[in-house]
A and B are shown apart, each in its own frame.
Chain A
Amino acid sequence: MLRSVSYWLGRSIESPALNALDLISAVTQLIYVLIFISVALGAVRQPTRAHSDMALFFGAVAFLILASRVAALVGTPPPWLTTVEIAVLMALPYVLLRLVDDFTHVRSAIKRVAELGLAAGIVATYATAPALPTPVILYVVLYFFAVSIYCASAFIRSARRSRGVTRRRMEAISLGSILLGTDILIAGLTPLAGPDDRAVLQALGQLLGLGSGVAYYLGFAPPAILRRAWQEPELRAFLARAASLPRLPATLDIVRELERGAANSTGTTARIGLWQDDNSKLRFWGDDDTTTDLEPGKHFAGRAFELQRPIFSTDPIRDNPDGAMDYRSRNVGAVLAAPITAGERRLGVLTLSAERPPIFAGSDIELASLLADQAAVILESRALIDHAARVRAREEATRLKEDFLSAAAHDLKTPLTTVVAQAEFLERRATREPSAPADLAGIRRVVRESKRLAGLVGDLLDATRLEQGRLVGEREPVDIATLAQEVCSHDTSDLTLCEVEASAPVVGVYDRRRVEQLLQNLVENARKYSPEQTPITIKVWQEDGEARVSVEDFGIGIPAADLPRIFERFSRASNVDDRRFHGMGLGLFICRGIVEEHGGRIWVESEVGKGSTFHVALPIADGRRLN
């Protein structure tokens, strides 16, 4: 009677002739024994509950196989063996249920029902043994089937929640459970069927047994090559995005993307901590941009970082009591931490946490290490990009400084040439011919060029003051409309037309001298880059509590690419021929300084070949008192 229930395990006993079915049966048995050896080794290496439950399950199966072989050899098995066989067979579905409970939650009501069902089955079997009436057989078979199918569905649900290798393995196990349950069902029903159907059912049962064996083998003890193939899609998806990661604007963005990628690839919660050289701690970023610094050696992350190897815990509360509160609040049942290290450079640590311990710790540790290595490559290239950018910025700053010094020197030397040579010549003339009339033209040149020099030196001093944020001095009520009129009339000559459009006075509290300088600079700039006889228009008005000024010209314009830097120090538009237009590139820089120290804004609209319009907005009342 027992033989029919354990048929799927010991078929060769009843038909000693070696045929195809026997071969399938032998292969199936071999597979189950191999799985047992594999999971038993795994349980010895990593004695977790999941591993021992796997070993228990396949140990039970292997025992039944060996027992049936022994029984076949001795002819009539001893009664005690049969009794143990029954107990082990009946316990199988329950062990499978325990296994399910190891990585997904099984409601306690279901566990109780399964336990009651198991107890009832054992009692019924022993009470009626060895006759075993059909209802008892049916009960046992249906119990076995129901639990298997429940387990299969639980594995499927769990597979949906997980990723990568784990998902594939869960799917294989659920398939194995379905096949196993169906096989038991068929094996149980075979004796009840007619002689013709029996052969068919036997053949079907053999095939289902083989199928479940193969599926369990793939799920519980997959060969390394298959594990790698299953990891590949996740890794590939991760790597596809990885290439673009180092160019994200901030390191934090990269960390976030890496965390997301690792979480998606493993079906866990992923956190990355980066080593901070300044305080020698690992820094983690929270969802709300808060940071937590962790000392190396503390918690799993700190330990993995210090030991430079992955650390895996299926009982984090026991293994790291310091973090117990956090693990409880986040419902963490398993933690995996892997160091992120590029060569000799320890960059940080990757931590994966899950509600349940991953049943396949080996694969998950492997995947986490791969992801951590990938993160190291990405973070390291980011560091290189940052370094290169810093070097470039330094070189650019040096170049700008040299350009500036050279331009400043050139600009100062030009008026100085006239001042020195002309003054010396005036002196020689006066010494040689004291009575000769004064060389007025020469004197005027000296005066004019001296003033030009003074202006250049003033600009240099202003740029220095601006950098210290003390460009603007005493403030007083100033009517910008009147000021613009003064600047304009001063500038208007035979060569330029300067017009002011203002319908009413616009009075604010400003540093008069600086606002005048601002308007002068803008008008001079407009004139410098405009053809002769083209108008320059200054508009002054009030809008939204701000004094507004615009200076419009019809000059050469500014290329769009240069606009963002036009107000920076030493900046000049690329279409400005510096042999033609002298200047230190300080004018607009000083303008911006004046405007910003007044709490205002300055911007420009321009089109190459059409002209430029500079806009200024200054607060009318900025809350500051009159000095």
Chain B
Amino acid sequence: MKDLWAGGPPRGDAPPSSGVARQGTRGEGQQGTVLVVDDDTSILDTVTSILSGEGFDVVSASSGQEALDAVARKLPLLILLDMRMPVMDGWAVARALRGKGIRVPIIVMTAAESARRWADEVGAEGYLAKPFGLDELLATVERFRGTGGRAN
């Protein structure tokens, strides 16, 4: 399952280093919130329960609007973003965040073949190609743990 991730290296060369993103961290060594966005409730529940089980602080959103609301309430460390969603899709969410000057790292989650291209389109840090396994999910999120939002 590891090889799936190999296609989408972290975009470490362009770390989100704005003050806004740093504000989202709770300090050195502390885990920030992971925001999971997916309109498929099974995936949403699964990813949420896995990440909480692994000790992450997780917020879930089942639509683009819910995701923006959650970001407005509390800036997350990382956003796992589904691309194909009704009404407001992944692209619209990414655009809205950029529009507000919020540069939280995004990991695109998609079942589409064009996952890598879509990740580039929204300036994401990487992608998780569905179906992804437990190890990939955790490894991806781990890279952002305690980095203040910076991928290593």
Chain A interface (Cβ within 8 Å of chain B)?
406, 409-410, 413-422, 424-425, 428-429, 439, 441-442, 445, 448-449, 577, 579-580
Contacts and interface: CB of A to CB of B under 8 A. Distances in A.
Given A445-B42, A579-B86, A417 B111 contact: yes
Contacts of A439: 49
B82 to A, nearest CB: 10
Contacts of B135: 424
**Which 3 pairs of residues, A with B, have the shortest CB-CB distance?**
A580-B86, A413-B111, A424-B134
22 contacts: A406-B113, A413-B111, A413-B131, A414-B130, A417-B130, A417-B131, A417-B132, A418-B43, A420-B132, A421-B131, A421-B133, A422-B49, A424-B133, A424-B134, A425-B46, A441-B45, A441-B49, A442-B46, A445-B42, A579-B84, A579-B86, A580-B86
A579 B85 contact: yes
Interface string B43-56: 10111011001000
A424 B84 CA distance: 25
Given A414-B111, A417-B132, A445-B45, 10 more contacts: A410-B111, A413-B130, A418-B43, A420-B132, A420-B134, A421-B134, A422-B46, A425-B50, A429-B53, A445-B46
Interface in B65-97: 84-87, 89
Contacts of A417: 43, 46, 111, 130-132
A133 B134 CA distance: 133
Interface in B117-152: 130-135, 137
B112 interface: yes
Given A409-B113, A425-B49, A439-B49, A418 B132 contact: no
A415 B45 contact: no
A441 B49 CA distance: 10
Interface in B93-111: 111
A550 to B, nearest CB: 29
Nearest to A452: B42
A288 to B, nearest CB: 55
Which DSSP category, helix, strand, loop or mixed, fits chain B's interface? Answer: loop
A579 B89 contact: yes
B42 A449 contact: yes
Contacts of A415: 42
A424 B46 CA distance: 11
Interface string B10-42: 000000000000000000000000000000101
Interface of B: 40, 42-43, 45-47, 49-50, 53, 84-87, 89, 111-113, 130-135, 137
B133 A420 contact: yes
A441 to B, nearest CB: 7
Among A406, A417, A448, the one with the most B-chain Cβ atoms within 10 Å of its Cβ is: A417
A415 B45 CA distance: 12
B132 A421 contact: yes
A442 B113 CA distance: 27
A458 B87 CA distance: 30
A427 to B, nearest CB: 8
A414 B133 CA distance: 12
Nearest to B82: A414
Contacts of B40: 414, 418
Nearest to A419: B131
A384 to B, nearest CB: 36
Nearest to A415: B42
Contacts of A448: 42
B46 A421 contact: yes
Contacts of A414: 40, 43, 111, 130
Nearest to A416: B131
Contacts of B131: 413, 416-417, 419-421
B85 A428 contact: no
A580 B85 CA distance: 6
Contacts of A421: 46-47, 50, 131-134, 137
Contacts of B50: 421-422, 425
Nearest to B109: A417
B120 to A, nearest CB: 19
B53 A425 contact: yes
Contacts of A410: 84, 111-112
Contacts of B111: 409-410, 413-414, 417
Contacts of A424: 133-135
A271 to B, nearest CB: 56
A483 B85 CA distance: 35
B103 to A, nearest CB: 25
A410 B40 CA distance: 12
A445 B40 CA distance: 12
A485 B44 CA distance: 34
A439 B53 CA distance: 11
A131 to B, nearest CB: 115
Contacts of B87: 580
A448 B47 CA distance: 16
A442 B43 CA distance: 11
Nearest to A420: B131
A415 B137 CA distance: 16
A528 to B, nearest CB: 12
A413 to B, nearest CB: 4
A373 to B, nearest CB: 52
A406 B137 CA distance: 23
A445 B49 CA distance: 11
Contacts of B89: 579
Contacts of A422: 46, 49-50
A410 B131 CA distance: 10
B133 to A, nearest CB: 5
A416 to B, nearest CB: 4
B135 to A, nearest CB: 8
Given A406-B113, A577-B86, A579-B86, A416 B130 contact: yes
A413 B128 CA distance: 12
Contacts of B130: 413-414, 416-417
Given A409-B113, A410-B111, A413-B111, A418 B49 contact: no
Contacts of B84: 410, 579
B81 to A, nearest CB: 14
Nearest to B86: A580
Contacts of B137: 421
A448 B43 CA distance: 12
A429 B53 CA distance: 9
Contacts of B133: 420-421, 424
A577 B132 CA distance: 25
